[in-house]
Structure 1
Amino acid sequence: MKKLVIKLFSRVSILSLLPLSIVMVTIMFSCKTSNSSVKEIQILRGKQVDFEYEQQKKISVKVPKDKGEAMTKDLFLQSKRPNIELPRIEGAEGGIAVVSEQVTFTNPEVITRSTPEGNKVTNLNEVQHLNEVVVTAKSRFTPEQNGRVNVDFIIKVPKELLSTNWRVTLSPKLLHNDSVVPLKNVVVKGQNFYDQQKQSYADYDEYMKSIIRESDYDSVFVDYKGVREDISFQQEFYYDQYHKEWRRQKNYETWKSAKDDVEALSEAKQVGYDRKVYYENARKARQRAMKELAKGKDTTGLFAKYMKNFVKPEDIEKGRIKVEQREDYRLDLFKEYSRKAKEMTLKDWVNGKDTAGAYMRYIRSFDKNLKNMMLDGEDMKNIPQEFRDIYRSGRSMDQITNQSISDKDSIEIAKHRYLFEDIALNDMKRERQDAKKNEMIIFPYEQNTRLDTVIQTDRDFVFYYKQDYPVSPGMKRLRLVMNSQVDAVDRSRYIQPQSDTLSYFISSLSQLVDSSLIVKTTTIHRDVYNTMVIYPKFQLGRTNFNVNYKDNKEQTSKLIDSYKTFTGEGNLLMDSIVLRVSTSLDGEYEKNIELSMKRADALKAFFVKALGGTPEVENIFKTRYSGEDWNTLARLIVRRTDMPNKSQILDMLTQAVNPDQCEKDIKKDYPADYKIIVDSIYPMLNKAEVIINMTRPGMTEEITVNREDRPEYAQALKYLQDREYWKALDILGNYPDYNTALCLVCMGYNAKALELLESLKQTGNTEYLLAILSIRSGNDDEAINHLIKACELDPSKAYRAPLDPEVATLVNKYNLQNRLISASSASDIVTGEEE
């Protein structure tokens, strides 16, 4: 009887490898990745340290003994040093050193637009090699504007201190009280020093390039030959495993096929025999029943009774089905036992127990139960030992699987094939890169320098250094010194003695303050006067005055209000009020004289009545008359810009013999201009000039001088001298005088300063400031005139000019020094003669 074979997915081979897999996982977790350090790798190796590494630790380095001379030896045996000197002005007398100043203002006011010179950037063209530098001073005045001064000086290094093998670092610094302000260094170096400095960076760059990044370890520090060998070994191992199971399965199926053939043949013979016996006996039983029936006997149950000892064909089929069911149950039972065996093995591994052979121990119990499940006469002992596991699982050829190398397997193999010695050297390089940088780059490139250049060493080095510096309130002087040192390529060093000290005395326009204005001097005159002009309106050719005609009330109110103010609030005594009345050129000349006289009397009568009508008031008013006012006519024509023929008309007025005829000629020859005269100028000729003469009561002297001390004004001048301009202006704003103008000039408020200076009395100080404002507006001719005038009025201004950069530039540009001295000398002669 043929058995039904159920194909199941084989897990025997996988489960048989489970202990090996668990061991491999444990090893993988215990190993480190490629990021592990060499020390960690050595710890994992335990005491298996390379013998050569142990030997290297015992190697000692020989102590060097350098007996050569330092490159800077010659510097110790000489006395020259780098120094700083003041620049020399071409053409200046010995002992005078003046700086060229460029200043910008925070609040510039442009009078006349000009283009300022842009800021300059130091470049190598400013380095000059001079044959000789002449120095005649160690101090000088440096001007201040807008809160800053320019400090400039010349750095000179003798050629004996220069060499191609070293670098000279020059470090100037400003000294102010206790403060030390380092300026940017000037660095000059020889060609050989620069080449080695450059080469040190190239060497360090090569060193850094030789360090492999950790991300590149897989491509650089892997033994690929060993990796290929390990992969080949694992591939062969996988094939051997597959070939072993394939061969066993093939042999099992060959054996099983032969066994099934034998069993099938035996089963077929047994089935045929059993059926033969059954049907033979059935035939005999039927014959017997027929005989008994023929005899008349009861044959009920006779056939069944006779055949009860023989197996029926349908019972044989039922037995076969039962056996097949038992075979299915056997396979299901194996699956359950296999699952439980795996669970128990994993549980033991989690609990830390030894799982080697655990799976097979748990699966043996399956064989004990299996014996009860076999067919009659069949036992596991009848199954060859090498095929029993296949028989248990019912595995088929299709269920045999192979293993292959994956990317993950390749990575795991590569991790164990790193060149750890090379990695250790690379890590050592990376860890020492900072120390190696300091070792290889002995002289780093200089940073934040004013000048860094390679120079020739066969001549003196000269460099013009210019630096602006903010000045604080009260600062009067700055000092400058310079330190220097030499660094040779052999790392020897020589520190030079400190240079001479240069002093800069800060000059400022604020030094031009006029302290005499601290005391306010007021001159009081006993006799005072006031003048005004009113324009009373009369009807044409009339002399009577009507206060309600046109704006007469407004015109007369000017005099009446002034009279009341002077005599009331001013407490002044009226001496006289003179009314001088004139007319226009309307009508005849002679009649206009009489007309002006009568109009003057009419105005007097009105004012006397308006002011009380007393005899005292009447005696105060005096009348004068002038008829036609030709002088005012000519003056007003000069101011006109809309009369094309005003020159001809003015000539006619000055040469007129007959006034009436002259007017007619103008009307005839220049009718358009004449119309302008009649409409715009004639009304201005019908006027009354008023002169009010008064006396201060109680004064016996004609002139009295009062002096008033102003402490707040003195404080303002102190702020101005200390260059605290805003504080000074807050006070001086209440005193529109010369010092206020000076403060505005210092702050760059040029337009406001000009407006104020033009309203002040002409002095040497005011002319000097006007010269500066003219320079700023770009008007050099006007500036020269103001400057010469200032020297005439104040001879000291000729010697002040070199201290102010704007004036000094103008003087040098036009060679004015001799003219200024001559102007000041002429002023001295005139003053002496007057005395």
Structure 2
Amino acid sequence: MNRQQTYKLFFSVAGLLMIASCSRPITKTLFLQSGRPHIYLPTNKEEKSGGILSERVSYETKIDTIRPAHKPALDDEDMKSVTLETFTVVADRPKLKISTVRNGKINLTFLMTVPKAFMDNRWQIVLTPHLINGDQTSALPPVVLKGSQFKKVQDEEFAKFAKFEKDIIDPSDYDKKFFDQKKHSLFTKNLQHKYLDHYTAEYKRLQDYQAWKHIAEVRIMNANARREGRYYQRLNDKAIEMLGSAYNDNLYGLDSSKVHRGFSGRYNEEHRKNYLDKKLSTLTVDKVPKNYRKYFEKNFTLDSLKNKSLTEKDSANIAKHTYFFKDIAQNESKIKNKDTHRRHLVRFPEVENPALSDSIRTGKDFVYLYSQDIDVTEDLQRKLSVIVETRVTAMDQSSWHQGGVDTLNFIVSGMNDLVDKTLISRLDEADQAIYQQGLDRLAVRDYRGALNIINQYPDYNSAVCLAALGYNDQAIMLLDRITATGKADYLRAIVYARMKKLEEAKESLFSAARKESTLAFKVEIEPEFAVLLETYPELQEQLENIGDGLDEM
């Protein structure tokens, strides 16, 4: 390499490095701005609005919304103040919510917000909530926002992969697509020609053999005929001589029988056979040319000639080896490595099972009311937390990621919160051990299992189990038979509210608040009382006044 070529190579590489150094990821703006996606607990009004708050006008009622009857002053723990560069964002929303068990599920509802600085058509935003249950963390269905340009690229990639999938041949169609008919036909045709050539050669050789044999046999027969003719000629000449002698003897009165006996004794059948066997020829193998001996030994004729022909089994056996195996290998590789090809062709796969998949609207903040039901299981903790992970992926595959900045806490409230554990003390030691098993089942919300145990000792906790299982009439009947404590009246109010007996529910709540003041402040978090509080707007204040009055006494 000369000096001029070296300089050209150097400047080419330097130019490429300069271009690469000037390249910046599309997501660079996210690293240079102060806004962040956040999650909040919704206000009562927000929670009644479904979906994207700024866009949708349909509404649905969430009966476990905390009703802000009294708004206490926020302490340092409730206030969240985050300084971001030149301005301060203050969020005065609470971070804790009580979520009530309903039909074996709890509902998690919160607001997701994404500032308009994130709304760019060149990327996709995925907001993934994570539920923290003790030491276990599980992902909830994500919210996906796609920019129009990003979606166009994604759709093009999926179209390429769809074409790739369409080009894959199903193995059941290999005979149609990958069978080399030309090769198969050529091979079978050549084989058939070989069979014909072999037959023709054998046919010609057999014809030649038969022609030679015909000539040889004619020659031998003619020679043998001549030899036999000469033998019989001489024999008969001798017979004439014998007869001449016999007739002479007879003429002179001599015994001619002696002459006859002499002739017959010498020229008998044995003499004839011995003479002719020596003189007559036969066609033996040693007289046959070597190339004809196999035919002679097996007494072959043209009728003995067998030809070879292709059978269906032969054709099928040949067919197994006349495919386009290179193409099959390529197709098999596509099937085997389909996921790898998908990864190569589709840089931006679809997010599976999203709670929402929507388009990015530039210039606008995104606000979404996220709602998800969670199954209540034995390992579900009383306190749950939710964080949201944000990932932005741009058309150039650059990304921006943010872990959970905000943490929302949910307290799981169920019928087992109303359990009175002190009732175990009324039992003897043996029964206490059994009763404790029922309390243990209540602690993990196994109300049916608990009822099977506690119902041996019908009491208030039995009524809790019946109410939790939806046996409202049976729960009321049992409550009517036991001591009317504050908790018993409170449970009675819940059951009456379910049964739409709102007046009876209200009176039961008053009775409960008079007996246990703390119950007056629990009403607003019970979903069963949502309709009751809407029907009697002053009820909450009346109950709290009763509670406040008892506390001051």
Could you tell me the TM-score, scaled by structure 2's length? 0.68
SS of match in other structure, 1:401? coil
Q: Which amino acid aligns with 1:174?
A: L
**Counterparts of 2:483 and 2:319 in 1: how far apart (Å)?**
100
- Which residue of 2 is the match for residue 284 of structure 1? 241
Q: State whether structure 2 residue 129 is matched by structure 1 residue 172.
A: yes
Question: Residue by residue, what CA displacement relative to the aligned partner does 1:738-773 show, whole Å, maximum 9, x if unpaired?
Answer: 787667656655445434544678776655443323
Q: Is the 8 A contact 2:101 2:376 kept in 1?
A: no
Q: Report how far residue 802 of structure 1 moved.
A: 0.7
For residue 783 of structure 1, the aligned residue among 495, 505, 523 is 505
Q: Report how far residue 288 of structure 1 moved.
A: 1.6
SS of match in other structure, 1:207? helix
Listed as ranges, the matches of 1:698-717 within 5 Å are none
**Counterparts of 1:444 and 1:476 in 2: how far apart (Å)?**
36
Q: Report how far residue 289 of structure 1 moved.
A: 1.7
Q: Is the 8 A contact 1:176 1:478 kept in 2?
A: yes
Listed as ranges, the matches of 1:255-404 within 5 Å are 255-305=212-262, 316=272, 370=286, 380=287, 387-404=292-309
Question: Residue by residue, what CA displacement relative to the aligned partner does 1:537-592 show, whole Å, maximum 9, x if unpaired?
Answer: xxxxxxxxxxxxxxxxxxxxxxxxxxxxxxxxxxxxxxxxxxxxxxxxxxxxxxxx
Q: Is the 8 A contact 1:509 1:804 kept in 2?
A: no
For residue 457 of structure 1, the aligned residue among 361, 366, 369 is 361
Q: State whether structure 2 residue 78 is matched by structure 1 residue 78.
A: no
SS of match in other structure, 1:100? coil
The CA RMSD measured in Å over matched residues stands at: 5.0
Q: Is the 8 A contact 2:517 2:551 kept in 1?
A: no
- If asked which structure has higher relative contact order (CA below 8 Å, sep 6+), I would say 2
- Which residue of 1 is the match for residue 13 of structure 2? none
Listed as ranges, the matches of 1:293-692 within 5 Å are 293-305=250-262, 316=272, 370=286, 380=287, 387-410=292-315, 419=324, 421-422=326-327, 425-426=330-331, 428-429=333-334, 432-447=337-352, 449=353, 451-458=355-362, 459=364, 460-468=366-374, 470=376, 477-507=383-413
- Which residue of 1 is the match for residue 538 of structure 2? 818
SS of match in other structure, 2:300? coil
**Counterparts of 2:524 and 2:167 in 1: how far apart (Å)?**
64
Q: Report how far residue 441 of structure 1 moved.
A: 3.5
**Shift in alpha-carbon separation, 1:405–1:182, aligned structure 2, 3 A:** closer
Q: Is the 8 A contact 1:477 1:506 kept in 2?
A: yes
Q: State whether structure 2 residue 43 is matched by structure 1 residue 88.
A: yes
Q: Report how far residue 495 of structure 1 moved.
A: 0.6
Q: Which amino acid aligns with 2:494?
A: I
SS of match in other structure, 2:256? coil
Listed as ranges, the matches of 1:763-778 within 5 Å are 767-778=489-500
Question: Residue by residue, what CA displacement relative to the aligned partner does 1:459-510 show, whole Å, maximum 9, x if unpaired?
Answer: 4141331333538799653332221212234322211242311223455566
**Shift in alpha-carbon separation, 1:454–1:267, aligned structure 2, 3 A:** same
Listed as ranges, the matches of 1:103-142 within 5 Å are 136-142=93-99
Q: State whether structure 2 residue 202 is matched by structure 1 residue 239.
A: no
**Counterparts of 2:355 and 2:481 in 1: how far apart (Å)?**
51
For residue 754 of structure 1, the aligned residue among 476, 480, 491 is 476
Q: Report how far residue 265 of structure 1 moved.
A: 4.2
**Counterparts of 1:474 and 1:271 in 2: how far apart (Å)?**
124
- Which residue of 2 is the match for residue 250 of structure 1? 207
Question: Residue by residue, what CA displacement relative to the aligned partner does 1:518-550 show, whole Å, maximum 9, x if unpaired?
Answer: 999xxxxxxxxxxxxxxxxxxxxxxxxxxxxxx
Could you tell me the TM-score, scaled by structure 1's length? 0.48
SS of match in other structure, 2:351? coil
Report sequence identity in percent: 26
Q: Which amino acid aligns with 1:783?
A: A
Q: Report how far residue 202 of structure 1 moved.
A: 4.7
Q: Which amino acid aligns with 2:96?
A: S
Q: Report how far residue 439 of structure 1 moved.
A: 2.1
Q: Report how far residue 285 of structure 1 moved.
A: 1.7
Q: State whether structure 2 residue 524 is matched by structure 1 residue 802.
A: yes
**Counterparts of 2:235 and 2:391 in 1: how far apart (Å)?**
131
SS of match in other structure, 1:784? helix
Q: Is the 8 A contact 2:101 2:412 kept in 1?
A: yes
**Counterparts of 2:235 and 2:279 in 1: how far apart (Å)?**
22
**Counterparts of 1:403 and 1:420 in 2: how far apart (Å)?**
30
- Which residue of 1 is the match for residue 82 of structure 2? none
Question: Residue by residue, what CA displacement relative to the aligned partner does 1:223-256 show, whole Å, maximum 9, x if unpaired?
Answer: 5445444444443333333333333333443444
Question: Residue by residue, what CA displacement relative to the aligned partner does 1:343-387 show, whole Å, maximum 9, x if unpaired?
Answer: xxxxxxxxxxxxxxxxxxxxxxxx6xx4xxxxxxxxx2xx56655
For residue 63 of structure 2, the aligned residue among 72, 75, 100 is 100
**Shift in alpha-carbon separation, 1:306–1:482, aligned structure 2, 3 A:** closer
Q: Which amino acid aligns with 1:399?
A: S
- Which residue of 2 is the match for residue 617 of structure 1? none
Question: Residue by residue, what CA displacement relative to the aligned partner does 1:638-683 show, whole Å, maximum 9, x if unpaired?
Answer: xxxxxxxxxxxxxxxxxxxxxxxxxxxxxxxxxxxxxxxxxxxxxx
Q: Report how far residue 811 of structure 1 moved.
A: 0.6
**Counterparts of 1:723 and 1:508 in 2: how far apart (Å)?**
10
Q: Which amino acid aligns with 2:532?
A: L
Unaligned runs of 5+ in 1: 1-63, 93-97, 103-133, 331-366, 371-379, 521-711
SS of match in other structure, 2:39? strand
Larger radius of gyration: 1
